[in-house]
A and B are shown apart, each in its own frame.
Chain A
């Protein structure tokens, strides 16, 4: 009976609607950011909002095509899909054109394609394929290593471009692995690593007067604290816990201590090795004093644009910071500034809520699947979208360092829009098949 239902009746209309709304709002904001002072020429196909409209139309067609392809096709081609994309990521390192110091784009005349945008869905697909085979649970070491390889290869290749933002997005697939059985300690360890990193950056930038050796970076003091606390834990914990676990606890404490010191030292030296502008971005984020007055230029102007929006904003097409080029990358990575300035707190919260509902909805979709493949894939989709949302909005609000990645369905750019369309509509097709196809 259900087999006779058309795709239109089985598709998840809530997800589809939110994506449609995001694309529309995104497009309006791109138009505003592009137009500057002049009135918007809505159908000037050469302008950014004109191109974006064309991309939206192309992606709509793409979406319809995807929705009409049997889900089985994506499962069966997931390896091929992945291999092709990894090949493209390799190729772009060699023949890609250099934009802003990174080789992330293939240039074809006036059109540029960013292969990493397409590598994201392919990684999610292959991960789903791997984890849905037989007893492909993460409990066995081999599967775990295979999973990490699927995520790690494109992550490493994008880091080589270098495109740290996309690398982080691949790293976000940890969430999918977590749902499939990866130890929760990994998330906790990740959180601890973040704390150690922040502490290292903060202490690394301040100087202390040590007895005997004079003025040195405070990061040394941090390491001394690590060692002291580590030794204390080493001595104390074994007396408090169940004796038979002592060995394991001791081992964990030792490894954590070593990892902390290594990470801290790594961050410290890593920061020294970074190009100056990137190091300054990180320092600015933590409110550290940077001698270069333009170091926090982007983020200062982004915050000013958003902050000046107030409760209800300055009105569509009425934001002077948007119109007159104060915010860089206004129609792509910093598009959220336009929302903040022109639509104010209310508009910004609406966008935040749209993304939240979208993510939670896909989460719900994932959990209603009988098919392991679809569930794992759906978690992959959530992870990727969430990482984009987290990094992009966090950056614009001055909570994360300046890392250029687009806001899904919102930022101008054909490659990313197409990549996200692929990502989500494959899921919608798979979800629509959830009662009719058994896997």
Chain B
């Protein structure tokens, strides 16, 4: 080859290289966007601006749940590496975290992403953070982030308010816009109104530099959005009453539910023993939670809505009302106290309805229910009882028993009102008669109710025949009460039937031989009914339900004190104090109050 022609070889090599370069540029710049995505990932950082979560207030605007500042510590492994590493021991001493655990957290951060901050310590209280925040500059790669935590100002109504904690896997997969590390309401009102309390997060996109420091807004903030604050939820609770109720129930087990009968608004919901929701937030959640799970008193258990008890004697009032309405008795009908059929107590033999309620006469209501269920309309006693019960059960359910009471209370159990289906399943079709099931006539057997159902029953009595589905929210975000909450339910019992029953309730409290005389409130006519509920071999539960005043009632309530004895001994005086507190704003019966405050579980020693 002529040497001069070698210019073409060299020129060819130059062209070839340039073509290879252009081909590579096509691949990098015009090909799949992987490099573009990678560049965006390392140069853009999304800052999440959490909205302030809505507060939860009592009916007068006193704060139940609020947000206080706390801090999370974040760590970016790459930054620490670039700066020559982190003094792990010094850091662990400064922030007061066990060195071993710190090393674990650091390793986890490293495994997650080396150039991106991950949280190594959460929810450090403001005071604690203030002690070491000045030292943080010494530790490269460590940043802090403000994160408000939920706090229960007085520690009251924890069961109703519910838990607010970090989202779990299920929440993250729920497509509701939760992200890793977000918090949400997990139970109670926090969960029920999560959508309104939560607000909307704001987003800010930043360009970051190689040290991951924010430098300027991305695209001049074109993709940014402002946070929308969560709405405040005003509850129907009366904080003073709630606090007083929790104080009275201190060191005991049980529940108090108080309702404003004219509106269905729940005034107090006490489940004892209680705890503060603060126990379940912050860095000590794990320890507290485990302790409470193990506690035999079951503090986490919301007795107002989740505990089901047999209604006992209180149920006799409903029996009386329906019997009058069905016409199987009149107010004057007297029934012999035949203690051979069913046991009774006290000294009486031929009571009318009013007396039977005051004396809590078992044979009376055994007979009354027999007249409704075993009517003799059918020759087959099994068919007859089945037909009778099929008429009876729906009437009971109209008092709200065995229902979710409109479903406005998060976690409320329905309890149970037995019907033919239940007994057919238990004993077999046509294999049972009234004689099989008669124990439900006096509120025992398969009947189960919660304290809320009993308070609602007190409400029905107060209203003489109707109730508004109980609810706990008065207002959300200043927009008023959600309309669905106010639904009026009629029991279908003639209002005139209530007069003798209410008369009896008044006598239970006022007459000398009444079982509920401890429920008296000076200057106020109280109507109530004691209940005593069996609890296996243990002492009976003390139960009382009442409303007051007799005319234009303003409060209806139920009180349960577990394993405390008869209804009149403990539940009645507690009801008395609660009513006095609510109606008068203060308590004058100091002796009664002292006796209650001194009492502790178990009661057998008192």
Interface residues of A (CB under 8 A from B): 36-37, 175, 178-181, 184, 187, 293, 300-301, 303-311, 320-321, 323-326, 340-341, 344-345, 348-349, 352-353, 355-356, 359-360, 363, 366-367, 379, 382, 386, 389-390, 393-394, 397-399
Q: Which residues of B contact A398 (CB under 8 A)?
A: 24
| Pairwise interchain contact A324-B215, C-beta atoms closer than 8 A | yes
Q: In the bound complex, how far is the Cα of B9 from the Cα of A353, in angstroms?
A: 19
| Pairwise interchain contact A352-B11, C-beta atoms closer than 8 A | no
Q: In the bound complex, how far is the Cα of B11 from the Cα of A356, in angstroms?
A: 9
| Pairwise interchain contact B7-A367, C-beta atoms closer than 8 A | yes
Given contacts A307-B36, A311-B29, contact A320 B43 (CB under 8 A): yes
Q: Interface segment, B15-23, B276-284, B525-533?
A: B15-23
| Pairwise interchain contact A348-B25, C-beta atoms closer than 8 A | yes
Interface residue? B172 (CB, 8 A): no
Identify A390's interface contact among B17, B29, B35, CB under 8 A.
B17
Q: In the bound complex, how far is the Cα of B18 from the Cα of A293, in angstroms?
A: 31
Query: Which of the listed residues B3, B11, B24, B30 has the most CB atoms from chain A within 10 Å of its own CB?
Result: B24
Q: Which residues of A contact B35 (CB under 8 A)?
A: 303-304, 306-308
| Pairwise interchain contact B10-A308, C-beta atoms closer than 8 A | no
Identify A309's interface contact among B7, B26, B29, CB under 8 A.
B29
| Pairwise interchain contact B42-A307, C-beta atoms closer than 8 A | no
B26-73 residues with Cβ-Cβ distance < 8 A to A are 26, 28-30, 34-36, 38-40, 42-44
Interface residues of B (CB under 8 A from A): 1, 3-4, 6-7, 9-11, 13-15, 17-18, 20-22, 24-26, 28-30, 34-36, 38-40, 42-44, 114, 207-210, 215-216
Shortest 9 CB-CB contacts between residues of A and residues of B: A307-B35, A308-B39, A324-B209, A304-B39, A320-B43, A325-B210, A345-B29, A307-B28, A356-B18
Q: Which residues of A contact B25 (CB under 8 A)?
A: 306, 340, 345, 348-349, 352, 397
| Pairwise interchain contact A325-B18, C-beta atoms closer than 8 A | no
What would 15 more interface pairs be, CB under 8 Å, given A306-B28, A363-B10, A394-B21? A179-B10, A293-B114, A306-B29, A307-B36, A308-B36, A309-B29, A340-B25, A349-B25, A352-B25, A353-B18, A360-B14, A367-B4, A386-B13, A390-B17, A397-B25
Closest Cβ–Cβ distance, residue A341 to chain B (whole Å): 8
Q: In the bound complex, how far is the Cα of B28 from the Cα of A393, in angstroms?
A: 13
Closest Cβ–Cβ distance, residue B441 to chain A (whole Å): 77
Q: Which residues of A contact B9 (CB under 8 A)?
A: 178, 184, 187
Closest Cβ–Cβ distance, residue B197 to chain A (whole Å): 37
Q: In the bound complex, how far is the Cα of B20 from the Cα of A309, in angstroms?
A: 19
| Pairwise interchain contact B10-A397, C-beta atoms closer than 8 A | no
Q: In the bound complex, how far is the Cα of B28 from the Cα of A306, in angstroms?
A: 7
Q: In the bound complex, how far is the Cα of B7 from the Cα of A309, in angstroms?
A: 35
| Pairwise interchain contact A310-B215, C-beta atoms closer than 8 A | no
Q: Which residues of B contact A366 (CB under 8 A)?
A: 7
Query: Which of the listed residues B1, B25, B38, B208 has the most CB atoms from chain A within 10 Å of its own CB?
Result: B25
Q: Which residues of B contact A379 (CB under 8 A)?
A: 10
Q: In the bound complex, how far is the Cα of B28 from the Cα of A403, in angstroms?
A: 20
> Which residue of A has the minimal Cβ distance to B43?
A320
Q: Which residues of B contact A360 (CB under 8 A)?
A: 11, 14-15
Q: Which residues of A contact B34 (CB under 8 A)?
A: 307
Q: In the bound complex, how far is the Cα of B21 from the Cα of A356, in angstroms?
A: 11
- 30 A-B residue pairings within 8 Å (CB atoms): A37-B215, A37-B216, A175-B13, A178-B10, A180-B3, A184-B1, A301-B42, A303-B35, A304-B39, A306-B25, A307-B36, A308-B35, A309-B29, A310-B36, A320-B207, A321-B43, A323-B209, A324-B208, A325-B209, A345-B26, A352-B18, A352-B22, A353-B18, A355-B18, A356-B14, A356-B18, A367-B4, A389-B17, A397-B21, A399-B20
Given contacts A352-B22, A394-B21, A397-B24, contact A363 B210 (CB under 8 A): no
> Which residue of B has the minimal Cβ distance to A393?
B21
Q: In the bound complex, how far is the Cα of B19 from the Cα of A355, in angstroms?
A: 12
| Pairwise interchain contact A356-B43, C-beta atoms closer than 8 A | no
Given contacts A304-B42, A306-B25, contact A363 B30 (CB under 8 A): no
Closest Cβ–Cβ distance, residue A168 to chain B (whole Å): 14
Q: In the bound complex, how far is the Cα of B4 from the Cα of A303, in angstroms?
A: 39
Q: In the bound complex, how far is the Cα of B389 from the Cα of A303, in angstroms?
A: 81
Q: Which residues of B contact A352 (CB under 8 A)?
A: 18, 21-22, 25
Closest Cβ–Cβ distance, residue A292 to chain B (whole Å): 11
Query: Which of the listed residues A179, A181, A187 has the most CB atoms from chain B within 10 Å of its own CB?
Result: A179
Closest Cβ–Cβ distance, residue B152 to chain A (whole Å): 44
Q: In the bound complex, how far is the Cα of B25 from the Cα of A308, in angstroms?
A: 11
Identify A178's interface contact among B6, B15, B26, B208, CB under 8 A.
B6
Q: Which residues of B contact A345 (CB under 8 A)?
A: 25-26, 29-30
Closest Cβ–Cβ distance, residue B92 to chain A (whole Å): 25
| Pairwise interchain contact B208-A179, C-beta atoms closer than 8 A | no
Q: In the bound complex, how far is the Cα of B17 from the Cα of A359, in angstroms?
A: 12
> Which residue of B has the minimal Cβ distance to A301?
B42
Q: Which residues of B contact A356 (CB under 8 A)?
A: 14-15, 18
Q: Which residues of B contact A37 (CB under 8 A)?
A: 209, 215-216
Q: In the bound complex, how far is the Cα of B29 from the Cα of A310, in angstroms?
A: 5
Q: Which residues of A contact B42 (CB under 8 A)?
A: 301, 304, 321, 326
Q: In the bound complex, how far is the Cα of B20 from the Cα of A367, in angstroms?
A: 26
> Which residue of A has the minimal Cβ distance to B35?
A307
| Pairwise interchain contact B24-A363, C-beta atoms closer than 8 A | no
Q: Which residues of B contact A326 (CB under 8 A)?
A: 42-43, 209-210
Q: Which residues of A contact B208 (CB under 8 A)?
A: 324
Q: Which residues of B contact A324 (CB under 8 A)?
A: 43, 207-210, 215
Q: In the bound complex, how far is the Cα of B34 from the Cα of A293, in angstroms?
A: 18
> Which residue of A has the minimal Cβ distance to B25?
A348
| Pairwise interchain contact A304-B21, C-beta atoms closer than 8 A | no
| Pairwise interchain contact A399-B24, C-beta atoms closer than 8 A | yes
Q: Which residues of B contact A348 (CB under 8 A)?
A: 25, 29
> Which residue of A has the minimal Cβ distance to B10?
A175
| Pairwise interchain contact A311-B30, C-beta atoms closer than 8 A | yes
Q: In the bound complex, how far is the Cα of B320 from the Cα of A315, in angstroms?
A: 87
Closest Cβ–Cβ distance, residue A427 to chain B (whole Å): 16
Q: In the bound complex, how far is the Cα of B35 from the Cα of A344, in angstroms?
A: 13
Q: Which residues of A contact B215 (CB under 8 A)?
A: 37, 323-324
Q: Which residues of B contact A305 (CB under 8 A)?
A: 39
Q: In the bound complex, how far is the Cα of B40 from the Cα of A308, in angstroms?
A: 8
Closest Cβ–Cβ distance, residue B232 to chain A (whole Å): 41
Closest Cβ–Cβ distance, residue B187 to chain A (whole Å): 42
Q: Which residues of A contact B40 (CB under 8 A)?
A: 308
Q: Which residues of B contact A178 (CB under 8 A)?
A: 6, 9-10
> Which residue of A has the minimal Cβ distance to B114?
A293
Q: In the bound complex, how far is the Cα of B22 from the Cα of A72, in angstroms?
A: 40
| Pairwise interchain contact B38-A304, C-beta atoms closer than 8 A | yes
> Which residue of B has the minimal Cβ distance to A382?
B10
> Which residue of A has the minimal Cβ distance to B34?
A307
> Which residue of A has the minimal Cβ distance to B20?
A399
Q: In the bound complex, how far is the Cα of B82 from the Cα of A325, in angstroms?
A: 14
Query: Which of the listed residues A187, A293, A308, A348 has the most CB atoms from chain B within 10 Å of its own CB?
Result: A308
Q: Which residues of A contact B43 (CB under 8 A)?
A: 320-321, 324, 326
Closest Cβ–Cβ distance, residue A37 to chain B (whole Å): 5
Closest Cβ–Cβ distance, residue A72 to chain B (whole Å): 25
Q: In the bound complex, how far is the Cα of B14 from the Cα of A36, in angstroms?
A: 34
